[in-house]
A = this chain, B = another copy of it.
Amino acid sequence: MRAAVATIRELAYLCGVSVATVSRVFNNPKAVTPKTREHVLRLARELGYRPNEPARTLATKKSYMVGLIWDTDHRSPGWRHPFFQEILIGLKTALSEEGYHLLLLSTSDEDAAGGPSLDGYLHAVRRHSLDGVVFIDSGNESPAPHAIAEAGVPCVSLDRPVDGPRATYVTSDNAGGARDAVAHLHATGRRAIATISGPLRTRPGADRLAGYREALDALGLPCRPGHVQEGDFYLAGGHAAMRRLLEGGDRPDAVFAAGDQMAIGAMAAIGEAGLKVPEDIAVVGFDDIELAALVPPGLTTVAQDKAGFGTMAAATLIEMVDGPAVEAPPPAILPTSLVIRGTTTPRF
């Protein structure tokens, strides 16, 4: 391969046209005669010319880059969104198709950017001329997304509502999924259905609990106070919450855990208490992480549309960035689907 031509001026010279024409070939092809267009394109291809992005960004204020903010300190388990990786794939793929790139931003950049200011991310966005931002919630109530959203930067947040002139969010149908889970437990013969909720300050935590309550209501089952235990979305929290449920004297015959990790922790606690899943206590989780299918006897769970998160976030963001600057699209609520496995086999 020959050395790539460096600049638009060189290419213009070689083509015998002006820089403006070359520029137009790439940015507004129909403003240029087919003949010259082809000529320029052919030479560009042969010489391996590609317009320089920083220069283009400088001139247009559009970088074709979006920031992925992933607000967390690296010590806490908070950074582990249950399917960060799937989200990332979906996001990256969808953005690439539209010619956008993804720049990773995390808490450390905030400080590095000059002191722990509340709007460190906003500065990062400005510095790089980012076209928009995707924010993955880690449940730690960071003020970052609000600062950005309010500044009018196109912004989509995952699993956490934000408002701002060009901000929206995408989440699963948490309440609906929870209702399905409870209805399924009821349909398999369980009547004393407890729940291990997520942290109630998180939106999915609160919504899944609400769905649980609605379902009990609809089924005419009482909502016994001891049957709601708050967890932390992680293994340990599920384990501890399950022990509380077991020690409560009012032993449930089914548990809806608002996250698969908690469900697995709960199953461990059930085993330690000498009880069996699903014979003594049925379990349903939420998320459908990879592990759910592997842990015996297979965890019944409310599956989220993992790839959908990324894809939807990308689509929504691009709509705000590219589209006519009207207003923020409505929040996207992804459907869930119940995956039935061994932890909820019917009672006789």
A residues apposed to B, CB below 8 Å: 1, 4, 45, 48, 50-55, 57-58, 63, 65, 74, 79-80, 84-85, 88-89, 92-93, 96-97, 99, 101-106, 108-109, 112-115, 119, 123, 126-129, 235, 264, 291, 294-295
Contact = CB atoms under 8 A, between A and B. Distances in A.
Given A109-B101, A123-B48, A54 B93 contact: no
Closest 8 CB pairs of A and B: A96-B108, A54-B54, A54-B57, A102-B104, A54-B58, A53-B127, A50-B127, A53-B128
Given A53-B54, A65-B103, A102-B103, 9 more contacts: A4-B123, A45-B114, A54-B128, A54-B129, A93-B106, A101-B109, A102-B104, A103-B104, A104-B104
Nearest to A107: B96
A245 B319 CA distance: 54
28 contacts: A1-B119, A4-B123, A50-B127, A52-B58, A52-B127, A53-B127, A53-B128, A53-B129, A54-B54, A54-B58, A54-B63, A54-B129, A55-B58, A74-B89, A74-B93, A85-B85, A93-B106, A96-B108, A99-B112, A101-B103, A101-B104, A101-B105, A101-B109, A103-B103, A104-B104, A235-B294, A291-B291, A291-B294
Contacts of A102: 103-104
- In the complex, which of the residues A45, A58, A85, A96 has the most CB atoms of chain B within 10 Å of its own CB atom? A96
A149 to B, nearest CB: 14
Contacts of A113: 50
Contacts of A119: 1
A317 to B, nearest CB: 15
A55 B59 CA distance: 9
Nearest to A104: B102
A277 to B, nearest CB: 14
B108 A97 contact: yes
Contact of A129 (B52, B65, B105, B128): B52
B89 A79 contact: yes
Contacts of A51: 127
A41 to B, nearest CB: 10
A115 B63 CA distance: 22
Contacts of A54: 53-55, 57-58, 63, 128-129
B264 A294 contact: yes
A109 B127 contact: no
A55 B63 CA distance: 12
A4 B126 contact: yes
A276 B84 CA distance: 35
A97 B112 CA distance: 7
A92 B103 CA distance: 11
Contacts of A101: 103-105, 109, 128
